[in-house]
Structure 1
Amino acid sequence: MLEGKKVIIIGDRDGIPAPAIEECVKTAGAEVVFASTECFV
């Protein structure tokens, strides 16, 4: 589905962190160019 796409990930500290999203996106075939977990308070 995401084969050959480049992805920027912004995770949420109290929700889904970036490393978890990153693993899912890599499994779908995308290349992660930036991943960060932020705190939105």
Structure 2
Amino acid sequence: MLKGKKVAILGDRDGIPGPAIEECVRTGGAEVIFSTTECFV
């Protein structure tokens, strides 16, 4: 489903961090162009 797609990831420090999402989308075949983990207060 994600094969050939480019993805920008915004993870949440208190939720799901960016690197965890990054691994999932890479497994799905997407290319990660930006990944970060932020604190949304």
TM-score of the two chains, using structure 1 as the length reference: 0.99
Aligned-residue sequence identity (percent) comes to 78
Partner of 1:8: 8
* Unpaired runs of at least 5, structure 2: none
Partner of 1:34: 34
- Runs (4 or more) in structure 1 with deviation over 2 Å come to none
Displacement of 1:24 in angstroms is: 0.2
Residue-pair matches, total: 41
* Unpaired runs of at least 5, structure 1: none
